[in-house]
Amino acid sequence: MTEIYFKYGFELPAYRSVVARLRVCLGWFIVCSSATLAAEKVDFSRDISPILSDRCFACHGPDSEARKADLRFDVESDLLRAADSGFPIIKPSDADHSELFRRIMSADPDEMMPPPDFLVPVTDSEKALIKRWIEEGAEWSSHWAFKKIQSPNMPEIHGDAIIRNPIDRFVESKAQEKGLSSTMEASRRTPSQAGQP
């Protein structure tokens, strides 16, 4: 194994040091991105539609033969209409008066959705996500593949950041949001090219 390190100009301790640094960077990236996702608004097509597809479409999806209660969860108008109970399926900004949320939270086997015999129940984190989506206004959005492509607005950059292409503006903007600043550009020469070990 060590011959691989030497073949490519790495010594084992230096290789381990680089790997350790990459692990730390990856850990920070995961922590920062999960904190950002928690603060982000819940998106129907990214966050909610996959849950409904996995847990609800078997009975409330596009297949008219298997559909129950003549209710589709892949059609916005069906989600906003009233259920047999009189409550709306989803009442935007009010999860407690939304039939969908009431049913997924129910412990009564006759009321709960998905039914007890369904093999994949809705997890607690998915229930919390659905509640958050409803409380945020239950905005419906289609899958990104069906949306018209639009160029994003270029973010504002403060200071003297090195911007070589449009992507750099987005990276620098996000770094500034998190209180990070750019550093000088690294030399393109590696230590082994400069004659150093």
pLDDT band at 1 (very low <50, low <70, confident <90, very high): very low
Where do we find the tokens 């903007």?
Answer: 173
CB distance 179 to 173 below 8 Å: no
pLDDT digit string, tens, across residues 40-68: 899 999 999 999 999 999 899 888 898 88
Whether the model pTM is above 0.85: no
* Mean pLDDT, rounded, of the chain: 81
What percentage of the chain exceeds 70 in pLDDT? 77
The domain spans of the chain are: 1-40, 44-146, 153-180
Across 17-41, average pLDDT: 60
